[in-house]
Amino acid sequence: MQRYFLNNEISETFTLTSDADAFQHFGRVLRAKIGSQAEFVTPSQKVIYIAEVETLDRHEMVLRVIDEKDAGDIELPISIDLIVSPLKNDRSDWLVQKATELGANRIIFTKMTRTVANWDRQLPKKQQRLQKIAKAAAEQSHRLKIPEIVFMSWQDILKVPKDAGIVAWEESARHNEHAALVSVVNHHQHSRLAMLFGPEGGLTENEIQDLSHHDFLSAGLGPRILRAETAPLYALSAVSLLCELV
Amino acid sequence: MQRYFLNNEISETFTLTSDADAFQHFGRVLRAKIGSQAEFVTPSQKVIYIAEVETLDRHEMVLRVIDEKDAGDIELPISIDLIVSPLKNDRSDWLVQKATELGANRIIFTKMTRTVANWDRQLPKKQQRLQKIAKAAAEQSHRLKIPEIVFMSWQDILKVPKDAGIVAWEESARHNEHAALVSVVNHHQHSRLAMLFGPEGGLTENEIQDLSHHDFLSAGLGPRILRAETAPLYALSAVSLLCELV
């Protein structure tokens, strides 16, 4: 069943007006009729409401809650803040989509020394666009939470609140470092982890030093060289495996 | 250093002509000069040759091998054949790119009941295009092997040679199945695993029955619903974690 996020709490019947994303998708894309059902999550994220269309026209849709279900353990038990560089072409779009499906808590973009993509002139538009992608992906993957898309300076990401930090560093992989990721994840269940990934050209020595002074531990992600947008997906899958399947 | 796959074995000096992919990329995209170096892998996949440009013009480039290095353990210890449905838009392209980075051995496309993308009229062209993407991704991720891109019928994929088979099934996740993936991977190190993933609309009950009769075990990939192109990346990352990092 399709899931939608609402911006406010609801009572037993509630109305979606034509300016709402849920109206656009449920009403127009999926062509909901009287009796069609969907799932709705409100900001409190406590339960999932199953609601049925009672009346609809071109401007609004009235729905009645017919059931509620427990949200279960759908969110990753470790809260992961991904810290990444803006990437070229549509690679940031799909990183946001996939990282949302795989359970990221926040996705923080920061300009690094070797960042190529230049978003300076279009930051608010980019933020809006990526936030929209995150919302759609959270609905599609049946999450309770939409990852927040944030832009920060390098100085600010060094101070992001965290219980532990990891930086995926190519050189760690070359030196066959392979224990850090598993060890950090296993020692920080139910806590807050920041994971940082370099841009296409990699991190500089200075950046690695900065990060190591701020408690980011270098970690290898296996022997193959992963692209800037692939490494975060590997790390999120690894966290899920260690926390949810092992 | 950039890595290239060659179609034949080489002696101490060798020539790339302008029709070779490596000439196009190294010579034209990276603008190699006399003295520029790159890594080369031959079909025997035994060592990595480091070679330097001795002479070049618009039509050919002569290189001399100046060093060799051991290939190391760059390939996944379990050989993974991914079996997937053709996907809409460019999603198969990027599945092939990412699955190659993450270490897949072969990527087999097969038409399933709910497959939407229709490639019937363009199969040879699609195969060529996806094989090219796999080659570039294998070079970029410093692999020794280019995953083969194959098209097969449903009947043939049921009989694909394997030591164990896994089918990622949404319903398994719903029923909180979470042990199969880890158990199969841990019991089949250094063997051959086939992993099947449904199309956008999911697998049918008939397909699941077919698969279960042919020794494909249903496995959940965590509580969140992953898209058709994301699930294989989760599974490959999980195999890498279990075989290469734990």
DSSP B201-222: T---HHHHHHHHHTTEEEE---
Q: Which of B176, B181, B241, B243 to mutate to test the interface with A (most CBs of A within 10 A)?
A: B241
Query: Once rounded to an integer, what is the mean pLDDT over residues A78-105?
Result: 97
Q: What is the ipTM of this complex?
A: 0.91
Q: Is the pLDDT of residue A1 over 90?
A: no
Work out the percent of chain A whose per-residue pLDDT is above 70.
Answer: 99
> Beta B47-56 vs B60-70: how paired, if at all?
antiparallel
Measured in angstroms, the CA of A146 and the nearest CA of chain B are apart by 13
Q: Which of B234, B236, B239, B244 to mutate to test the interface with A (most CBs of A within 10 A)?
A: B234
Query: Position of tokens 């965590």?
Result: B222
Partners of B242 on chain A (C-beta within 8 Å) are 241
In the A/B pair of chains, how many CB contacts fall below 8 A?
111
Picking from A141, A237, A238, the nearest residue to B225 by CB comes out as A141
Average pLDDT over chain A, rounded to whole? 94
- Model confidence over B184-236: pLDDT tens digits? 999 988 899 999 999 998 999 999 999 999 999 999 999 999 999 999 999 99
CB contact under 8 A, B94 and A94: yes
Measured in angstroms, the CA of B152 and the nearest CA of chain A are apart by 28
Q: Which of A208, A198, A216, A207 is nearest to A85 (CA)?
A: A198
**Sign of torsion, CA B131 B134 B140 B143?**
negative
Assigned token pair, A244: 């949810």
- A178 vs A160: CA distance, rounded Å: 25
Query: Once rounded to an integer, what is the mean pLDDT over residues A108-115?
Result: 97
CB contact under 8 A, A141 and B224: yes
- B99 vs B103: CA distance, rounded Å: 6
- Helix (H) / strand (E) element for B186: namely helix B180-187
CB contact under 8 A, A101 and B227: yes
Task: Kindly list the residues of chain B whose beta carbon comes within 8 Å of any beta carbon in chain A.
Answer: 72-74, 94, 98, 101-103, 140-143, 178-179, 181-182, 220-227, 230, 233-234, 237-238, 240-242, 244-246
Q: Is the pLDDT of residue B170 over 80?
A: no
Picking from B72, B141, B178, the nearest residue to A226 by CB comes out as B141
CB contact under 8 A, B141 and A224: yes
- B236 vs A75: CA distance, rounded Å: 21
- Model confidence over B29-42: pLDDT tens digits? 999 999 999 999 99
CB contact under 8 A, A140 and B237: no
Give the pLDDT score at A173. Answer: 65
- Helix (H) / strand (E) element for B67: namely strand B60-70
- Model confidence over A112-141: pLDDT tens digits? 999 999 998 999 999 999 999 999 999 999
Task: Please report which confidence band the pLDDT of residue A47 belongs to, taking 50, 70 and 90 as the band edges.
Answer: confident
- A112 vs A86: CA distance, rounded Å: 9
Partners of A237 on chain B (C-beta within 8 Å) are 233-234, 237-238, 241
Q: Which of B96, B182, B240, B242 to mutate to test the interface with A (most CBs of A within 10 A)?
A: B240
Domains of chain A and any CATH numbers: 3-70 (2.40.240.20), 79-245 (3.40.1280.10)
- A71 vs A78: CA distance, rounded Å: 17
Q: Is the pLDDT of residue A174 over 70?
A: no
Give the pLDDT score at A46. Answer: 80
Work out the percent of chain B whose per-residue pLDDT is above 70.
Answer: 99
Q: Is the pLDDT of residue A79 over 90?
A: yes
Partners of B140 on chain A (C-beta within 8 Å) are 225, 227
Give the pLDDT score at A64. Answer: 97
Say which amino acid occupies A16: L
Task: Please report which confidence band the pLDDT of residue A65 belongs to, taking 50, 70 and 90 as the band edges.
Answer: very high
Task: Please report which confidence band the pLDDT of residue B75 belongs to, taking 50, 70 and 90 as the band edges.
Answer: very high
Picking from A94, A227, A245, the nearest residue to B178 by CB comes out as A245
CB contact under 8 A, B141 and A178: no
- Model confidence over B105-144: pLDDT tens digits? 999 999 999 999 999 899 999 999 999 999 999 999 999 9
Strand partners for B125: none
Query: Once rounded to an integer, what is the mean pLDDT over residues A56-68?
Result: 95
Q: Which of A224, A239, A240, A242 to mutate to test the interface with B (most CBs of B within 10 A)?
A: A224
Q: Is the pLDDT of residue B50 over 90?
A: yes
Give the pLDDT score at B174. Answer: 67
